[in-house]
Structure 1
């Protein structure tokens, strides 16, 4: 037990410390002084450089911020300018679209009028004139002009139809351009909102935050030149579409005017052909009526002549019977009294003369009866022709010309 205590006492006693010499003590102090002074000099240089760097960086930061602010304002001005140009071009597109819609309505009105009214009237006139009878069913000037008028109308319909397609396509292009202008304007409005908000943000506000996401802060992948080209492309396209629409409207104006003039011209030519044909038909009908009147008069005169011839033949039969009776009675004379005296000779001559005269009268009666038959046949033929002419006049003058009065070509 005592041994154990001794050992513990030996362990707890510290070893003797090292004592520096006085020279080491002075040397150590000088070293500490020098190290402190060196560090102080270094610190002074660092402080000076830090102050200089801070001032420089502060100035650079302010300059950078000012430059960014100035660039941002310029960017806002550029964006506002292009947005304003977009709006101007959009307004021009809207005006041109509205004007083209009016012109489209004019074309559609012309197409409907020509197709549903005028063309149907012309074709109906052609069909009505197919109802002419006999020799009046001819290929006359009226038919040729009507067919030419139908051809003119169909040509106008074809031309107007193609122009309507062009107008629809131009309207579609204007609407497409407006759509892209609207899209670009919305993007620029959003950009302006963001950029204007950025100009109002200062380094002193409290709700600033550091960006710690993995994606880069500089997300822009479009150069300024590309942006300007992209923005101006729609402006140029809008201006081009507006420039394309204006001559199209002028062309539509000229086309409608020319079509109207051509249709009026052919309309007047066809009406003039109708008037000439109606006058010719009326004149022919009048002449036929005069011939019919004269034929009827001749037929009545021929009837009286036939009656007179029949009466004359009947009268001659009495004279013939008288002569025959006298000859018969004188044939009963006796012996030498039965002579061929002057009375006998005169009676025989009278009989021969009566026979010849009756034969001549009968021949004339046959000729008169044949002439009467021909006159009556001619009368019937004339009546048929007069009816045909009256029917033709009804078709041309009443039916067709009445229909054509409703044909109207205006300035659509």
Structure 2
């Protein structure tokens, strides 16, 4: 500071240039106005002390314990000089005078270091809320940040809850689809199992027509030699056995396909049930998470869980897996449905073919029975005629024998007459007269007729033998035909009456 310039912070009572004056002294005054005069500048005169006068501050001034707008920078001056009746010492000038003001006087009653202005400024400094403002600002800022934090956390939780709700909705939708697919494949397994049981029953039923056809073939081997032929009925029975074998082969192959398809259905059901179980557990977890809140009693600290799991998948793969799981299950179910259609077609067509072949066999058997019956009737008619002819021939033979006996008597008569005439007539009387010629001619005629009758008798015997032989043949043929009729009409017909019908296959 220059030496000629006055210092506003210097005490007017110390500085010689401005002694007795103070920059702010004009601002102080009594109620009536006028400048303040320090009575301690002059020597004490009794009765000079004035009554107390209250200081008046401008309107709107702060409290008196705080700095006033009328104060100087050095604070209020003391109404006591460095010398006087009460001065017990002298003033010290220090380098802190510009900051703290002039050091007050020190007497025997008190040691005062600060001025009133300094005291007021100290009060202001003490009363000024430094850390409090900082604390208030910090509190306001932190509360705002905490409120923002909780708002952000709440928004994040709301977003998570919305995403969880959407996820639960998606899971519920897929779970219903998977459950529908699981119910469908379960129903298909039950239906296919019923169809498989029907196919097994159809295979067991096939044993009956096969046994009937084989029994008929075996019975027909008991026919006698002439009727042991491969007729239409025999051929149809052989065809029937072959058709039964083909139907059994088809049934066996279809049954193997059904068994394989049943394994596929069960595998598809196990896969879809596993997917359904996973979705149910996931749905339970997500619903549990959706019900949770910061006030829940089930929440715990799990450090290190904010990371992607090692076996985690993407949402696209999850959707692809869900759709593929349902599609695979539906494909297996459709394949099973098609196999059921083929299975029923095999049973229905097989039963129809078996019925058709059975009708062909029955018709062939009927035709054979009719032909055999007609032949048997004709044979019986011939047998009757043969018996009649045989009786007639036997009567003829008897008549021929009787005739031969009569001819023999005539022969004997003729020979007796000739013997008497040849050996009993004497000498010349034994002549060849007309009687002799007549007897010889008679004997010759009788001999010829006897030989003719014997030839006829032999022919009659031969015819009788032929008739007897034919009779045996007829009786044998009739027995053969009756045997065939008994086999075809009785035993085979009774056996074939138990042939299964398509209705029996359809009722399985």
The reply to whether residue 382 of structure 1 matches residue 490 of structure 2 is no
The reply to whether residue 59 of structure 1 matches residue 174 of structure 2 is no
The reply to whether residue 188 of structure 1 matches residue 283 of structure 2 is no
**C-alpha separation in 2, matches of 1:335 and 1:242:** 136
The reply to whether residue 279 of structure 1 matches residue 370 of structure 2 is yes
* 3-state SS, counterpart of residue 406 of structure 1: coil
Decide which moves more: 348-357 or 55-64: 55-64
Question: 1:268 deviation in Å?
Answer: 1.2
Per-residue CA distance 1:69-102 (angstroms, 9 max, x = gap): 1111111111111111111111112222222223
Decide which moves more: 165-174 or 277-286: 165-174
Give runs of aligned pairs for residues 121-132 of structure 1, distance below 5 A. Answer: 121-132=212-223
* 3-state SS, counterpart of residue 230 of structure 2: coil
Question: 1:253 deviation in Å?
Answer: 3.3
Give runs of aligned pairs for residues 2-401 of structure 1, distance below 5 A. Answer: 53-115=145-207, 117-205=208-296, 208-212=299-303, 217-219=307-309, 221-331=312-422, 332-401=424-493
Per-residue CA distance 1:140-185 (angstroms, 9 max, x = gap): 0000111111122222222222222223333332222222222222
Q: CA RMSD in A?
A: 2.9
Question: 1:232 deviation in Å?
Answer: 2.3
Per-residue CA distance 1:334-367 (angstroms, 9 max, x = gap): 2322211100000111111111111111122112
**C-alpha separation in 2, matches of 1:133 and 1:347:** 62
Decide which moves more: 163-172 or 66-75: 163-172
Structure with more contact order per residue of length (Cα contacts < 8 Å, sep ≥ 6): 1
Decide which moves more: 63-72 or 167-176: 167-176
Per-residue CA distance 1:307-354 (angstroms, 9 max, x = gap): 111222222222112112212222222232221110000011111111
**C-alpha separation in 2, matches of 1:110 and 1:207:** 61
Question: 1:395 deviation in Å?
Answer: 0.3
**C-alpha separation in 1, matches of 2:300 and 2:191:** 53
Question: 1:276 deviation in Å?
Answer: 0.7
Decide which moves more: 54-63 or 91-100: 54-63
* 3-state SS, counterpart of residue 407 of structure 1: coil
**C-alpha separation in 1, matches of 2:384 and 2:228:** 25
Decide which moves more: 294-303 or 223-232: 223-232
**C-alpha separation in 1, matches of 2:371 and 2:438:** 65
The verdict on how the C-alpha distance between 1:205 and 1:388 changes in structure 2, with shifts beyond 3 A counting, is closer
TM-score (norm 2): 0.69
**C-alpha separation in 2, matches of 1:94 and 1:209:** 41
Per-residue CA distance 1:232-270 (angstroms, 9 max, x = gap): 222112222222233333333333332222222111111
Structure with greater helix percent: 1
**C-alpha separation in 2, matches of 1:73 and 1:354:** 141
**C-alpha separation in 2, matches of 1:176 and 1:139:** 53
Rg: which structure is higher? 2
* 3-state SS, counterpart of residue 340 of structure 1: coil
Aligned length: 383
**C-alpha separation in 2, matches of 1:196 and 1:326:** 151
* 3-state SS, counterpart of residue 209 of structure 1: coil
Question: 1:279 deviation in Å?
Answer: 0.6
Question: 1:231 deviation in Å?
Answer: 2.3
TM-score (norm 1): 0.85
* 3-state SS, counterpart of residue 118 of structure 1: helix
User: In the alignment, what sits opposite 1:5?
Assistant: none
Question: 1:44 deviation in Å?
Answer: 9.3
**C-alpha separation in 2, matches of 1:207 and 1:388:** 99
Structure 2 gaps of 5+ residues are 1-93, 100-124
Decide which moves more: 147-156 or 389-398: 147-156
Question: 1:46 deviation in Å?
Answer: 7.5
**C-alpha separation in 2, matches of 1:232 and 1:305:** 106
